[in-house]
């Protein structure tokens, strides 16, 4: 029988768990000053366009979950005024996205550098990236709550010990949709409609991204589930295959909608990702059987790559291109 401490040990491996403790609010300029004033819709001269920068909202409070830092990346040319509006990507494990000094293990996604390079060359439209930091309750917030709760008492206790930890994924998604997104839409020049609101994450962050699409189809139109941890807990446990069945049963009755949503799934083949190919194959078969086409549920494999920020950074350009492309007919 698995114990809670065993599951908790795995959770630490899955997570990139760095707990925010800063109360500082700061803006980090990522490149030199803007090129000059630009006119706004009224014909008045507005402030110079900003070059790409990070803005941090420290200890962002919530009614639903514990406070955490929020790091917002603004693209080169961002104007705080006027009619220009920007699509938004909400990304989990926010401390691992932009700065190696704050990232788990000292390796970051480099999402800001990749986005800025692709936007400057015209390969991506300008967009805002909202990095949502994780906390010491990462597994409780990222594990798809209704999937776990659907399992029998014996199943859940064998997974996680006799006392199931308090699951907080539903509360975490309420935090994002009811508190964080309204704040971001009010504070920044966003395009708030679901068609331009996306969500992404890796490992357990991939699970909560898929769960967000299923729970809030009127909020999110695209998700990237990178190295998604299909087994939910220990990948070599005797209940790993039940995880697929439980997920499929949940998705069958959820709000997930192939007519207006698209999802990216991927995995490597080394370290923790070595356990994912059979699950990915089973889930791809299920999605195809439900009528999801190859352009609606995209499954990618990256042989030789492992379960790390460095591996995810190497394919960040493909992930961003998927999220921000303009040719998803089902959105």
Instruction: Evaluate whether 131 touches 143 at the Cβ level (below 8 Å).
Output: no
Task: Report the chain's terminal Cα–Cα distance, integer Å.
Answer: 44
CA separation, residue 178 to residues 10, 103, 132, 221, 330 (Å): 31, 27, 14, 17, 25
pLDDT attached to residue 94: 96
pLDDT attached to residue 166: 86
pLDDT attached to residue 4: 31
Closest by alpha carbon to 143, among 247, 70, 258? 247
pLDDT attached to residue 150: 86
Which has the minimum average pLDDT: 32-41, 107-116, 156-165? 32-41
Length of the chain: 331
Instruction: Evaluate whether 142 touches 169 at the Cβ level (below 8 Å).
Output: yes
What domains are there in the chain, each with its CATH number? 4-29+46-324 (3.40.50.1820)
| 331 has pLDDT over 80 | no
Structure tokens at 285: 């078969």
Higher pLDDT, 195 or 29: 195
The alpha-helical segments, DSSP class H, found in the chain are 4-15, 111-120, 138-142, 145-149, 153-160, 169-174, 181-187, 204-215, 240-252, 277-289, 309-314, 316-324
Tell me the C-alpha distance between 93 and 21, whole Å: 15
| Segment 222-260, tens digit of pLDDT | 999 999 999 998 887 656 778 999 999 999 999 999 999
| Segment 124-173, tens digit of pLDDT | 999 999 999 999 999 999 999 999 888 755 555 555 555 567 899 999 99
pLDDT attached to residue 28: 47
Higher pLDDT, 77 or 29: 77
153-160 vs 4-15: helix crossing angle, rounded to 10: 70
């Amino acid at each position: 029988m698995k114990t809670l401490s065993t599951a908790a040990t795995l959770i630490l491996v899955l997570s990139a768990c760095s707990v925010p403790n800063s109360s500082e609010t700061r803006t980090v300029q990522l490149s030199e000053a803007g090129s000059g004033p630009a006119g706004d819709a009224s014909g008045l001269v507005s402030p110079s366009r900003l070059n790409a920068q990070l803005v941090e909202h420290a200890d962002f409070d919530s009614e639903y979950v514990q406070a955490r830092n929020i790091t917002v990346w603004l693209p080169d040319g961002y104007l705080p005024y006027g009619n220009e509006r920007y699509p938004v990507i909400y990304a989990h494990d926010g401390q691992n996205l932009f700065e190696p000094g704050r990232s788990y293990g000292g390796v970051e996604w480099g999402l800001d550098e990749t986005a800025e390079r692709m936007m400057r060359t015209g390969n991506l439209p300008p967009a805002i990236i909202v990095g949502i930091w994780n906390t010491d309750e990462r597994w409780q917030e990222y594990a798809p709550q209704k999937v776990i709760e659907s399992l029998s008492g014996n199943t859940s206790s064998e997974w996680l010990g006799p006392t199931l930890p308090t699951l907080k994924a539903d509360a975490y998604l309420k935090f994002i949709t009811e508190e964080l997104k309204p704040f971001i839409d009010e504070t920044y020049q966003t395009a708030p409609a679901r068609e331009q609101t996306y969500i992404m994450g890796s490992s357990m962050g991939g699970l909560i991204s898929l769960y967000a699409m299923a729970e809030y189809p009127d909020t999110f139109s695209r998700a990237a589930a990178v190295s998604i941890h299909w087994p939910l807990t220990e990948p070599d446990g005797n209940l790993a295959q039940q995880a697929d069945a439980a997920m499929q049963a949940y998705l069958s009755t959820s709000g997930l909608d192939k007519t207006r949503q698209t999802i990216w799934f991927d995995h490597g083949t080394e370290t923790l990702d070595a356990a994912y190919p059979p699950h990915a194959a089973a889930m791809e078969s299920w999605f195809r059987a439900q009528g999801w086409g190859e352009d609606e549920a995209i499954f990618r494999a990256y042989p030789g790559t492992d379960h790390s920020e460095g591996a995810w950074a190497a394919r960040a350009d493909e992930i961003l291109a998927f999220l921000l492309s303009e040719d998803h007919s089902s959105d």
